[in-house]
Amino acid sequence: MKLARYGAPGHERPALLDAQGTPRDLSGIVDDIAGDVLTSAGLARLAAIDPATLPALPAGQRIGPAVGRVGKMICVGLNFRDHAAESNLPLPTQPILFMKATTAICGPNDDVVIPYGSVKTDWEVELGVVIGDVARHVPLEKALDHVAGYVLINDLSEREFQLEHGGQWVKGKSCDTFGPIGPFLATKEEIADPQALGMWLTVNGHRYQNGTSAEMVFGVAHLVSYISRYMTLMPGDVISTGTPAGVGLGQTPPTYLQPGDVIELGIDGLGTQRQRTVAWGAVE
């Protein structure tokens, strides 16, 4: 099952994609793709619906973030072997966790704003894990039972803010529009193996990232179990699981985004995104 959200920012309507990819309006059944709708019981209710009984949404609408009202967005650093190598850093012995402010979340094809004063805005294609049932001290063998599904994420980063402004990474990760999510949420039965997904990203048509989730140091089940030791994971929380090699920081010389660039990215089974970068102050 594929779930999505369509409409203007703050006014998105929940949708179920039918077999042809047509968005079918769920707003008469649920208020959003969020919270308890993403639990096992909530998803079972949606799975029982015949999409043909739902009205089609009008074509051409903006695609919103695939998950609404995200409570926490937890990111994992240096979680791909090839990315750690290009960063000249050792593989972590435990997952490196940081938070991305939920105000960074935007639609998969919305413009990305280069922040005020930025000179090192970077890209990162990532597999997102959406929590379904509450997870607290979950054993590894039961971790995937708490997953609602998976999403495509661009974990944009401002490297100067992240690495040169002191303190935690969160400052370089949380700028507005630095968290495109979608175009849809694929429930977990759609993805046979989250550790066998091709991942790619291009800037202006040049492919910089061409990897696979098999390169993860810590897989999805490990991350859900591990994070649930330190904080309760709630329905609709999102874990962004790390990026493969090919980020701008890892280029020789480093290469960063400029206004007018076009970023395109995708993950097997999770669709694609396309963002245009704009200068700070060019949008409201």
Query: Is residue 162 scored above 80 in pLDDT?
Result: yes
Segment 79-90 mean pLDDT: 88
Give the model confidence (pLDDT) of 163-187 as tens digits.
Answer: 888 877 899 999 999 999 999 999 9
Helices vs. strands in the chain: H and E counts, helices first:
5, 18
Query: Is residue 219 scored above 90 in pLDDT?
Result: yes
**Domains, the chain, ordered by start:** 63-279 (3.90.850.10)
Tokens 């175009």, residue located: 183
Kindly calculate the radius of gyration of the chain based on its CA atoms and give it in whole angstroms. 18
Collapsing DSSP states into helix, strand and coil, what is residue 146? Answer: helix
pTM of the predicted protein model: 0.97
Look over the chain and give the mean of its residue pLDDT values, rounded to a whole number: 96
Q: Which of 68, 114, 107 is nearest to 283 (CA)?
A: 114
